[in-house]
Amino acid sequence: MSARDNHGTAPPWGDEFQVIGKRHRKVDGLAKATGQAVYTDDIALPGMLHAKTLRSPHAHARILSIDTTRAEALPGVHAVITGASMPIKYGVIPWTPDENALATDRVRFIGDEVAAVAAVDEDTANAAIELIDVEYEPLYSYTDPNESLERHDPAIHEGNKHGNVSKHVELEFGDVEGALDGADVVVENDFFFHGSTHTAIEPHCAVAQWSQDTSAEGLLTVWSSTQISHYVHRALARVLELPETRIRVIQPNLGGAFGGKSDPFSLEFCVAKLSMLTGRPVKMLWTREEIFYAHRGRHPMHMHYRSGATSDGKLVGSDAKILIDGGSYSSFGLVTTYYSGQLLTGPVDIPNYRFNSTRVFTNKPPCGPKRGHGSVQPRFAFEIQLDELACALDIDPIDFRRKNWQGEHTKTVNGQRITSNGFMTCLDEAERESQWKERRGKLADGRGLGVAGSMYISGTNYPIYPNDMPQAGIQIKVDRSGLVTIFTGGNDIGQGSNSVVAYLVAEELGVEVADVRVVAADTDLCPVDLGAYSSRVTFMVGNAAIDAARKLRKQVVESVAKHWEIAEAGIRMGGGVVLDLADAERTMGVREAFQLAEADHDTLGSTGSYNTPELGGDYRGGTIGASPAYSFTAHVAEVTVDRETGRITCDEVWVAHDCGRALNPMLVAGQMEGSVYMGVAEALLEEHDVNRFGLHSGPSLLDYRIPTTLDTPKINSLIVESVDPEGPYGAKEAGEGPLHSVIPAISNAVYDAVGIRLRHLPFTPAKVLRALAELESDQTVEQS
Amino acid sequence: MLRLPKFEVEKPTTVDETVALLSEKTGDVMIIAGGTDLMPNMKHELFTPKKLVSLAGVSALFGIREEAGALVIGAMTPLDQVANHPLVAERAPALAQAAGLVAGPQLRRMGTLGGNVMLDTRCQWYNQTYFWRKSLGFCLKKDGSACHVIEGGSKCVAAASNDTAPALMSLDAKLTFANADGQRELLLDDLWKSDGIFNKKVPPSDLLTEIRLPQREVKHLGAYGKLRDRGSIDFPLFGVAVRIDIDANDVVVDAEAVSVALQARPTRIRKFGESLVGTTLGSPEFEKGVQAAASLGHKQCRPMPNVPGDHEYRHAMVPVYLKRTILAAAAGAGPVHAV
Amino acid sequence: MRVLELKINGDRVEVAAPDHWTLLEVLRYRLGLTGSKQGCDKGDCGACTVLVDGKPELSCLKLAALSEGAEITTIEGLLPLHLQAGGTGPDPVQDAFDRCGALQCGFCQPGMMLSARALLNECHSPSQAEIKKALSGNLCRCTGYTQIIEAVELAIAERVGAKNS
Ligand SMILES: Cc1cc2nc3c(=O)[nH]c(=O)nc-3n(C[C@H](O)[C@H](O)[C@H](O)COP(=O)(O)OP(=O)(O)OC[C@H]3O[C@@H](n4cnc5c(N)ncnc54)[C@H](O)[C@@H]3O)c2cc1C
Ligand code: SF4
Ligand code: FES
Ligand code: FES
């Protein structure tokens, strides 16, 4: 589907959906439940070698020499590679290619990849790594982003025009100074959002097999735990200097991603190169520690916000200055820098808005996209300011948001088109279910309720590399057996995208979900999809799936109508059966219908695609953050603060999320729950940082504390369906939006509970105790 | 995978056989009980013994029994049995609570009481991979020469982090060790030395066979308090076991508190009993005593930045956890734990 | 290297492995039983949980050489064992996890379901607090645990229902 044809939101057959909107098993659920599902590290190929990476022990250093002779001489070692083996730089954003598969001349953080070895087994590969002699010249290293802003010598990336600044964006919409001058209340504060990382439970892994075929280059197959096969495919071709036709990328079952498997990673290039050099399959499985170095997690942001409102409760403007700690490489940083400002302009209307965001390099593991990429941090600051304004004006914070709601089918101040917008219903639901009115302000001391809201994109019309081709494609094969096979380049990372396309196609073709098979994320077999990021899959791949299925449906209906000699409108399909609406006695199975169509139209198959309409503001960067539809969320959090220990317990969260339409409410709820869990963890427990030596402060699942069952609040998922005019049957996204506002909601709830404003994450008990002590001394001063 | 260094495994079935194997070549042989401490440490190359002697087949080391009024627990008894055994709950509530808060369910199933007593000390600069430690330049405890907790310090202050140790000490536990020369009994208090590198006076080649809790003359109450970030899995950031002896009228006749996860050895809080002795449980005097005992703990316990987390915060939590744990013991409740 | 005789999912298998290999490594890379997952390889996450004589243990910290003699159940064993016991289809725990949407990426779930299975074997109708405690050594990054707990409760409710009817 292109922007030009829209398939509408109505059920394809009659008044009611038959598959959509109901609870269904996932297409791969039982394969996962029984242990049959194959993940990358489950692959074992005959003669497979095992590879390991040598990493930099320095935070910043020049590589003077690398000597691999001792490693190569070790029995069992088959190949050793260094940066010289793959000197071409790459980067997920084509404008900022600053990464090498292995360091060529310089290392930029402790853990940066320097060399790789393939050997008969892991023990031998590990032993060989220790035999590689590298001479380094340590350089001054940066851990404080403020320093990177000021100091440019040494530059972390030599030749970067802006010293250690990775990206700077400054945009103003309206007249912020004028608006704030005219405000009755202005709040102004510093905020800090810390770093956190994804920790998908599956470690990154890649397997490569180079085989001979009729071409001179041979054929390279790479199985990888990636969430974006397409970019891995492109990056491999670039770095290995192979035509894309010589490379096949397959994503097996994926054990979680959350943005952490979006970039092309060193291990994919290394196994490919090592396989090509040795002529044997090669596997590399990173240890948990190595994944903390690979990182690409949430960017720490130092934020300064100033927002104002008039006494009647109207927000007049907001002004943001943001310093973004990017770590050592660009990754998605260009987009992050834009997102840090561009995605704030709803659901609350900001009539005048300005942001000034600067991303700098530091000698730390590189940051990238984590669930709610670039927009969770500013949302945190802004939603606390809304709470402060509401308090200052003595307006209920939910009402304050209602008063300032932007409306639906409108445009944001920065020129983004808003279609459906269910935020008001989200507020209503969260308010009602949490018994906000009855309970807020009336809870026992130490307990409180807080609210916050947010919006997020459902895909973006910025396709990372400029092109006019579809953003998502689908092929469908319909067989005389009655089986429907869908081929999709979409990456199912656990969110259930394979199931979603199966539901959509089953609905369109009137077949049972069980009779739909999905072949996914194999670049040889499936049409291109841009991958699982920016919450784009349901919206874009879903639309492409409807597009393809509708074409087939037309052929099938045509043939049945001809056979029965009735009008096409008199036919209904569903649950594997074709009905004549005028004659209840007359039915046939879809298998027979498919056979009629195959006889009429030849072998049945169709393609479908999706591309975004023209979107975005008319200024440089105006398309970054422009989405065909936005999801909306409201959170109410209930907390208990232990005044003696400073410990915050998040007891319960009500999350109301406008996902457009819940294609399978069970999967939507799962995404909402997972998002809330992850947000609460960021607020209260997790912190990804380096210590005074530039070393990761605890690269393990023991020291990086992700919540257990006992640390997760009760989560109430309230699904709101605004039915978006352009989404697949009206669907938008549910995987990232529901994370955002739970973090400020917790901060706001703590204020309600004990009167302290927490603006620096994470909310450790020590910080809470300090803030409580400050509050007490302030009050004593006031009283005296 | 995080590979283990190479070694061989011996599987003796009797104490004598075990002791013989252990005396072979000290340093290169280590005992493995549940392996839940040793395996991660070996994966981090903190220990690289050539031989592991497994106690899993030595049946004499398992089980909980009463013997002449004492409660005797075999060194190989899994922690989940210690936590759930009715005799332990009745006779040593602080121990049952502490054992029940060690790590997570699977690890309590695998980990043993003996292994917990003999646990290696822990430090944020030490419990890391070989790569990490090498990038740091190592530390005094293993492969290096400097301490990063106390800069310029010449002594390792890695923290004793075994949850059951304070509970056992509060109950005056005695340990039985066996080696080639025979058996000997040792008061748990006398096991420790204040050296984070190896905090025990008994050499690693000696086999702990059982832990004996002597019969107590008077009735006692007990509880364990544990500070940690999560409700499961994490090691203690601070732990404290409390024992309160009472007479028939609920008057405190003696009391003890033992802390852990602060320094290289678990330590008794000195003069702890004095604030509480003579008061009646629940009385205003008792409450005052509790406050006094809590501040005493605050003065004596000085957390260092050895284990992860803010050590000043850990210090601030000493009186809070101490107070809550005393109150829990007095109420017959506990453990004191955030979740 | 020694030849081990292991009892896995009701089978007696002989497998040669070096002494320094863990049970997880032998299961995954010697026996092809890749259903047991590895998320940390040092006891922190629970993905490698298997049942040893019916109780959950971490196979990444257990030496294969010390796993002889015990009945080991991996995720691959649940369905066949359920069939052998006269059931149909997957184990009720597996089925409930699927019906409740608990299987997102699925990577933590073999370990999670085995912890749940062990709980249900031990206790007829555990409370929600008991469920949470029993699963507190299995980290999941996708679900927020909500649908996992619902699934265990569903399996309990259906068992209780089946018994009552
Ligand atoms: C993720 C994780 C979390 C943990 N959390 C906690 C926690 O919260 N609290 C806590 O206390 N522990 C914790 N532990 C550590 C460990 O699980 C327990 O301390 C357990 O009790 C250790 O017992 P084990 O039998 O497994 O010991 P092993 O690992 O087998 O042995 C530990 C040490 O004691 C020696 N040893 C063992 N048995 C004997 C004996 N009979 N005689 C002489 N020496 C012996 C061994 O040689 C070794 O040096 C945790 C471990 C992990 C992996
Ligand atoms: S206290 Fe920590 S850093 Fe210091 S020597 Fe001991 S283990 Fe090393
Ligand atoms: S892999 Fe065994 S606990 Fe993580
Ligand atoms: S389902 Fe993905 S980690 Fe649990």
**Are B105 and C20 a contacting pair at CB < 8 A?**
no
Structure tokens at A158: 């030599």
Same-domain pairing of A413 and A483: no
**Closest ligand 3 atom, residue A701 Cα:** 4
CA distance B2 to chain A (A): 6
Same-domain pairing of C160 and C94: yes
Q: Nearest residue of A to residue B103 by CA position?
A: A702
Of B230, B312, B313, the CB nearest to A705: B230
Same-domain pairing of A401 and A475: no
> Which residue range is the domain that position C57 belongs to?
2-74
Q: Are A741 and A401 in contact (CB under 8 A)?
A: no
Which pLDDT does position A462 carry in this prediction? 81
How many folded domains does chain A comprise?
Answer: 3
Same-domain pairing of B84 and B204: yes
Report which residue type is found at A165: V
Question: Average pLDDT for residues A530-544, to the nearest whole number?
Answer: 94
Query: How many Å apart are CA A738 and CA A654, to the nearest integer?
Result: 10
Cβ-Cβ contacts under 8 Å, C58 against chain B? 36, 106-107, 110
Question: Average pLDDT for residues C87-105, to the nearest whole number?
Answer: 97
The yes-or-no verdict on residue A779 having pLDDT over 90 is no
pLDDT tens per residue, range A496-523: 999 999 999 999 999 999 999 999 999 9
Distance C19 CA to ligand 1 centre (A): 20
Structure tokens at B222: 């007990």
How many folded domains does chain C comprise?
Answer: 2
Task: Give the model's confidence band at A684: pLDDT under 50 very low, under 70 low, under 90 confident, else very high.
Answer: very high
Which pLDDT does position A1 carry in this prediction? 43
Distance C45 CA to ligand 2 centre (A): 26
Q: Does C22 touch chain B (CB under 8 A)?
A: yes
Which pLDDT does position B27 carry in this prediction? 62
**Closest ligand 1 atom, residue B162 Cα:** 11
Number of neighbours of residue A151 by Cβ within 10 angstroms = 14
Same-domain pairing of B239 and B293: yes
If you count them, how many residues does chain A have?
A: 784
Same-domain pairing of B98 and B194: yes
pLDDT tens per residue, range A225-255: 999 999 999 999 999 999 999 999 999 999 9
The yes-or-no verdict on residue C125 having pLDDT over 70 is yes
Q: Is residue B112 lining ligand 1, measured as CB closer than 6 Å?
A: yes
CA distance A702 to chain B (A): 7
Cβ-Cβ contacts under 8 Å, B316 against chain A? 766, 769
Same-domain pairing of B41 and B76: no
The yes-or-no verdict on residue A597 having pLDDT over 50 is yes
Nearest to C143 by CA among B242, A565, A712, B132: A712
Residue B84's domain is classified under what CATH number?
Answer: 3.30.465.10
> Which residue range is the domain that position A24 belongs to?
3-37+470-610
Residue A478's domain is classified under what CATH number?
Answer: 3.30.365.10
pTM of the predicted protein model:
0.98
**Closest ligand 2 atom, residue B139 Cα:** 8
- Lowest mean per-residue pLDDT among A123-137, A394-408, A629-643, B17-31: B17-31
Same-domain pairing of A600 and A665: no
Nearest to A157 by CA among A213, A232, A105: A105
CA distance B90 to chain A (A): 27
Residue B15's domain is classified under what CATH number?
Answer: 3.30.43.10
Q: Does A167 touch chain B (CB under 8 A)?
A: no
Residue C105's domain is classified under what CATH number?
Answer: 1.10.150.120
Exposure string (b/e) for B246-262, b if CB count within 10 Å is 16 or more?
A: beeebbbbbbbbbbbbb
Task: Give the model's confidence band at A783: pLDDT under 50 very low, under 70 low, under 90 confident, else very high.
Answer: confident
Q: Is residue B157 lining ligand 2, measured as CB closer than 6 Å?
A: yes
**Are C146 and A669 a contacting pair at CB < 8 A?**
yes
Q: Are A274 and A282 in contact (CB under 8 A)?
A: yes
Of B6, B135, B229, the CB nearest to A695: B135
Q: Are A772 and A643 in contact (CB under 8 A)?
A: yes
The yes-or-no verdict on residue A551 having pLDDT over 80 is yes
Share of chain B above pLDDT 90, in %: 97
Task: Give the model's confidence band at A86: pLDDT under 50 very low, under 70 low, under 90 confident, else very high.
Answer: very high
Q: How far is CA B86 from the centre of its chain?
A: 21
Question: Average pLDDT for residues A407-421, to the nearest whole number?
Answer: 97
Query: How many Å apart are CA B164 and CA B147, to the nearest integer?
Result: 27
pLDDT tens per residue, range B91-111: 999 999 999 999 999 999 999
Task: Give the model's confidence band at A784: pLDDT under 50 very low, under 70 low, under 90 confident, else very high.
Answer: low
Q: Are A301 and A324 in contact (CB under 8 A)?
A: yes
Could you say which ligand is closest to the alpha carbon of residue B264? 2
Question: Average pLDDT for residues A662-689, to the nearest whole number?
Answer: 98
Element (H, E) at C162: helix C146-164
The yes-or-no verdict on residue A3 having pLDDT over 60 is no
Same-domain pairing of C63 and C86: no
**Are B316 and A769 a contacting pair at CB < 8 A?**
yes
C-alpha triplet B7, B8, B11: angle, nearest 5°: 140
Question: Average pLDDT for residues A83-106, to the nearest whole number?
Answer: 97
Which pLDDT does position A5 carry in this prediction? 59
Say if B103 falls within a structural domain.
yes
pLDDT tens per residue, range B257-275: 999 999 999 999 999 999 9
**Are A667 and C36 a contacting pair at CB < 8 A?**
no
Same-domain pairing of B230 and B284: yes
Element (H, E) at B318: helix B311-330
Q: Does C149 touch chain A (CB under 8 A)?
A: yes
Does ipTM surpass 0.85 in this model? yes
When the pLDDT of each residue in chain A is averaged and rounded to a whole number, the result is: 97
The yes-or-no verdict on residue A2 having pLDDT over 70 is no
Query: How many Å apart are CA C114 and CA C73, to the nearest integer?
Result: 8
**Closest ligand 3 atom, residue C61 Cα:** 2
pLDDT tens per residue, range A742-777: 999 999 999 999 999 999 999 999 999 999 999 999
Q: Is residue C160 lining ligand 3, measured as CB closer than 6 Å?
A: no
Task: Give the model's confidence band at B338: pLDDT under 50 very low, under 70 low, under 90 confident, else very high.
Answer: confident
Say if B307 falls within a structural domain.
yes
C contact test, residue of A27, A30, A32 with most C CBs within 10 A = A32
Which pLDDT does position A4 carry in this prediction? 44
Same-domain pairing of B12 and B90: no
Query: Counting Cβ atoms within 10 Å, is residue B214 exposed (0-12), middle (13-18) or buried (19+)?
Result: middle
Question: Average pLDDT for residues A457-474, to the nearest whole number?
Answer: 91
Q: How far is CA A607 from CA A12, A211, A258, A539, in A?
A: 18, 30, 29, 17
Residue C20's domain is classified under what CATH number?
Answer: 3.10.20.30
DSSP character string of A473-486:
EEEEEE-TTS-EEE
Q: Is residue C60 lining ligand 3, measured as CB closer than 6 Å?
A: yes
Same-domain pairing of A422 and A544: no
The yes-or-no verdict on residue A104 having pLDDT over 90 is yes
Same-domain pairing of A540 and A682: no
Task: Give the model's confidence band at C164: pLDDT under 50 very low, under 70 low, under 90 confident, else very high.
Answer: low
Distance B159 CA to ligand 2 centre (A): 9
Q: Using CB atoms, which chains have 3+ pairs under 8 A with A?
A: B, C
Q: Is residue B161 lining ligand 2, measured as CB closer than 6 Å?
A: no
**Are C103 and A706 a contacting pair at CB < 8 A?**
no
Q: Is residue B46 lining ligand 2, measured as CB closer than 6 Å?
A: no
Query: How many Å apart are CA A698 and CA A690, to the nearest integer?
Result: 8
A/B interface, count of CB pairs below 8 Å: 75
Say if A10 falls within a structural domain.
yes
C contact test, residue of A653, A701, A705, A742 with most C CBs within 10 A = A701
Distance B225 CA to ligand 2 centre (A): 25
Take atom 4 of ligand 2 and give the residue whose Cα is closest.
B147
The yes-or-no verdict on residue A315 having pLDDT over 70 is yes
> Which residue range is the domain that position B1 belongs to?
1-60
Name the β-bridge partners of A690: A696
Q: Is residue C48 lining ligand 3, measured as CB closer than 6 Å?
A: yes
Question: Average pLDDT for residues C102-127, to the nearest whole number?
Answer: 97
**Are C43 and B39 a contacting pair at CB < 8 A?**
yes
Q: Does C36 touch chain A (CB under 8 A)?
A: yes
Report which residue type is found at B326: I
Answer with the one of A274, A294, A314 that is the final residue of a domain: A294
**Are C137 and B232 a contacting pair at CB < 8 A?**
yes
Residue A229's domain is classified under what CATH number?
Answer: 3.90.1170.50
Which pLDDT does position B26 carry in this prediction? 59
Which pLDDT does position B24 carry in this prediction? 80
Same-domain pairing of B79 and B201: yes
